[in-house]
A and B are shown apart, each in its own frame.
Chain A
Amino acid sequence: MYLPAGVRNHSYAQDMAIFRTRTQWALLGLLLVSLFVLPMFLSNYWLSVCNIIAITIIAATGLNILTGYCGQLSIGHAGFIAVGGYTSAILAGQLGLPFLVSMLCGGIMAGLIGMLFGLPSLRVKGFYLAISTIAAQFIIMWVIRNWSGVTGGNIGLGVPNAEIFGYTFSTQSSKYYLILVITILVIFFAKNLTRTRPGRAFVAIRDNDLAAQVMGINLFRYKLLAFFIGCFFAGIAGSLLAHCYYGFLNPEFFDFKESILYVGMIIIGGLGTSIGPILGVILIRLLDNVLSLQIVPFLEANVTILSSGWASGLKPMIFGAVIILFLILEPRGLAHRWNVFKTSYRIWPFSY
């Protein structure tokens, strides 16, 4: 851990602080203020882009706890997001529960389902676990597609707007504030979780689960806890996705490819860092946006030599290539680049 020059710790409290210097506090304040005044300057369209970025950050933070910290690779994250989204939508829409309650229920439901499919993690790891989460994804989506009496099946399900104490979040900017507050809470929770006993237990399990067990870490408890927390965040993200982004739900939104993309996002950002998922999500979601709204239609209209529809293959190709290139060239992700930048900024003009 590199400290800015001249920073010394005189107490444990100081040593544990996330933000150490006045500059850091000022920058944090500046960031928060600018995030809160952002809706004044953005059009509705860009606000909705910010919303999807923030929601994805919540889900990716969950996956990062599960995969980045605890080392349990999950390739079924979109399935768990779907569980949360559908649970919350059904509770709020058909049973009329308040939004906050149904969102929490969605999260808890996703967490429980995640724990269920995380059970194999007690006996297997690595590739075996990855396969069982793939199986989870397919089983969950099959149930959602076919249980049409409850989930609306392939046709989809209408979802009411979020409502807290009589206030309905119907405009883009009100949704933005709601999502922003939840996202900040989630990031704060995730950052602190990694500094607690469970967080350190997760890291120990990731590095070597047998050694961790020998040191007295209860694998059963902590692996399932990691699954619960990771999938709980997925569920919260799913609920927000349903109530504040799409407004209706369809199994198409939770494709297997989406799950792969989530893994890709945390790899691009940097596994096991708190800033990683944020950077990765922003990069991929912005790329997604620019590609599908600007570049693909442009190419589709102007390059007519190839068979029609070819350009829709461009996005998956670029995403796949980005994931592969990051793995080969910068496996520590954008977070590492960010740290390198910070360090070299601090010690400039010297090289070390």
Chain B
Amino acid sequence: MADLLQFVITGLTVGMVYSLIAMGFVLIWKSSGVANLALGQLVLISSWITYAILVQIGLPVWLGIPLVIVIAFALGWLIERFLLRPLIAQPILSLIAVTLGLSYFLDGLITFIWPWSVDALPRLFPQTSVHIGPAVISQEYLWAAIISVLLFTALSLYFKYSRMGIAMRATADDQMAVQACGIPVTKIFSRSWMLACAMASIGGILMASIGGIGHGLIDTGMKSFSVVILGGLDSFLGAMIAGPIIGLAENLGGGYLTALTWPGVREVIPFIMIILVMMIKPYGLFGETRIERI
């Protein structure tokens, strides 16, 4: 019983961080219809940038973290301006392939600058553990979950009420109409990439501060794909709910199935979930089912 509670709590809190990264994906998909497959690499590179700023340069945390987010904004702007903008109105295959190319490039870039490939970030949160009934949870995970919920709320409000957010939703709905209304679509694309990179970097900082920097962070990004697939590609709420579900499945499965199957079953559960969702409900829990016309 204690085990179960432990798995549930760990799963829910880790899942919140997956949600956070997944929301960055949904943001781009919603506004520009581009699938960002370089998510894992963006998470990893931003945690390395954090490492460079906090450890290698040695800035204090209160100055360093905002700086990382500013750099993430810049990265997002660069990616949109130089990779995605030339490909506007190209087939979806090119759009997917260009982010694949980007992921390959970033992989190399990370090895290029930080070849030792594993390191630790300074802990950002107090590490004393919290007892919930018989279960023990590190306080870091709780903080991560809280930040993720806060960002979700902020993002939802931003999309609902701010001018830019409304413009982004409109662009997702009908690009042509938005352009006809005199809203600069390219500006919206670049804003959404900047925001998404910032979300990926916050996710990266949280994960790296808890578990260290390493190629495991790319897998975290990969797992976020299962979150977006389960939640529906164009729904923040879906991402927010699907994250904890994936986290739960991963931890419960890892806890109870490892004895039955092979070790490492935890890592593959999100991918099995992807296949299952594809077969049963391909557009996810909250995704919009597209009706196509010829």
Check: B177 CB closer than 8 A to any chain A CB. Answer: no
The answer to whether A67 and B263 touch (CB under 8 A), given A135-B272, A139-B272, is no
Instruction: Choose among B98, B110, B264, B279 the residue that contacts A146 (Cβ–Cβ < 8 A).
Output: B264
> 1/0 contact trace for B113-124 toward A, CB 8 Å?
111100000000
| Interface-lining segment among A232-240, A275-283, A313-321 | A313-321
The interface residues of chain A lying within 8 Å CB-to-CB of B256 are none
Check: A187 CB closer than 8 A to any chain B CB. Answer: no
A134 touches B103 (CB 8 A): no
9 closest A-B pairs by beta carbon, nearest first, are A320-B105, A313-B111, A316-B108, A317-B108, A309-B115, A313-B112, A323-B101, A320-B104, A146-B262
A123 touches B282 (CB 8 A): yes
The answer to whether A310 and B104 touch (CB under 8 A), given A128-B229, A132-B274, is no
B278 touches A323 (CB 8 A): no
For the complex, count residues of B whose C-beta is within 8 A of A.
51
User: Taking CB as reference atom, which chain A residue is nearest B115?
Assistant: A309
User: Taking CB as reference atom, which chain A residue is nearest B278?
Assistant: A120
B116 touches A318 (CB 8 A): no
User: Taking CB as reference atom, which chain B residue is nearest A256?
Assistant: B222
User: Taking CB as reference atom, which chain B residue is nearest A324?
Assistant: B101
The interface residues of chain A lying within 8 Å CB-to-CB of B278 are 120, 123-124, 128, 132
Min CB distance B44 to A, Å, is 13
B107 touches A73 (CB 8 A): no
CA–CA, A261 to B104, complex, Å? Answer: 9
CA–CA, A135 to B279, complex, Å? Answer: 13
User: Taking CB as reference atom, which chain B residue is nearest A312?
Assistant: B111
CA–CA, A122 to B262, complex, Å? Answer: 31
Check: B200 CB closer than 8 A to any chain A CB. Answer: no
CA–CA, A132 to B90, complex, Å? Answer: 22
CA–CA, A139 to B102, complex, Å? Answer: 24
User: Taking CB as reference atom, which chain A residue is nearest B267?
Assistant: A142
Check: B94 CB closer than 8 A to any chain A CB. Answer: yes
CA–CA, A128 to B228, complex, Å? Answer: 10
Min CB distance B75 to A, Å, is 15
Min CB distance B34 to A, Å, is 9
> 1/0 contact trace for A210-226 toward B, CB 8 Å?
11001000000000000
Min CB distance A230 to B, Å, is 15
A127 touches B264 (CB 8 A): no
User: Taking CB as reference atom, which chain B residue is nearest A320?
Assistant: B105
The answer to whether A214 and B108 touch (CB under 8 A), given A138-B222, A260-B100, A324-B101, is no
The answer to whether A130 and B111 touch (CB under 8 A), given A135-B274, A142-B267, A324-B102, is no
The interface residues of chain A lying within 8 Å CB-to-CB of B233 are 127-128
The interface residues of chain B lying within 8 Å CB-to-CB of A117 are 275
A264 touches B104 (CB 8 A): yes
Instruction: Choose among A210, A314, A320 the residue that contacts B103 (Cβ–Cβ < 8 A).
Output: A320
**Which of B113, B275, B292 has most A Cβ within 10 Å?**
B275
B101 touches A327 (CB 8 A): yes
A-B pairs with beta carbons under 8 Å apart, 18 shown: A126-B96, A128-B282, A131-B229, A135-B271, A139-B271, A142-B262, A260-B100, A260-B103, A261-B104, A271-B93, A307-B114, A312-B115, A313-B111, A316-B104, A320-B102, A320-B103, A321-B105, A324-B105
Those of B204-237 within 8 Å (CB) of chain A = 222, 225-226, 229, 233
Check: B4 CB closer than 8 A to any chain A CB. Answer: no
Check: B97 CB closer than 8 A to any chain A CB. Answer: yes
A310 touches B113 (CB 8 A): yes
Instruction: Choose among A135, A264, A307, A313 the residue that contacts B108 (Cβ–Cβ < 8 A).
Output: A313
A314 touches B108 (CB 8 A): yes
> 1/0 contact trace for B221-255 toward A, CB 8 Å?
01001100100010000000000000000000000
B35 touches A257 (CB 8 A): no
Check: B136 CB closer than 8 A to any chain A CB. Answer: no
The SS class assigned to the A binding surface is: helix
How many interface residues does chain A have, given as a range?
A: 35 or more
Those of B77-97 within 8 Å (CB) of chain A = 83, 86-87, 90, 92-94, 96-97
The interface residues of chain B lying within 8 Å CB-to-CB of A309 are 111, 115-116
CA–CA, A348 to B217, complex, Å? Answer: 55
Check: B37 CB closer than 8 A to any chain A CB. Answer: yes
User: Taking CB as reference atom, which chain A residue is nearest B114?
Assistant: A307
Min CB distance A321 to B, Å, is 6
Check: A198 CB closer than 8 A to any chain B CB. Answer: no
Check: B294 CB closer than 8 A to any chain A CB. Answer: yes
Min CB distance A137 to B, Å, is 9
Those of A90-124 within 8 Å (CB) of chain B = 117, 119-120, 123-124
User: Taking CB as reference atom, which chain B residue is nearest A211?
Assistant: B294
The answer to whether A146 and B263 touch (CB under 8 A), given A130-B35, A331-B90, is yes
Check: B130 CB closer than 8 A to any chain A CB. Answer: no
Given contacts A130-B37, A135-B271, A318-B108, 20 further A-B contacts (CB under 8 A): A120-B279, A124-B282, A127-B92, A128-B282, A130-B96, A132-B274, A132-B275, A132-B278, A134-B222, A138-B271, A208-B294, A210-B292, A267-B94, A308-B115, A313-B107, A316-B105, A321-B105, A323-B97, A324-B102, A327-B87
Check: A263 CB closer than 8 A to any chain B CB. Answer: yes
A324 touches B98 (CB 8 A): yes
The interface residues of chain B lying within 8 Å CB-to-CB of A127 are 29, 35, 92, 96, 233
Check: B146 CB closer than 8 A to any chain A CB. Answer: no
Min CB distance A124 to B, Å, is 4
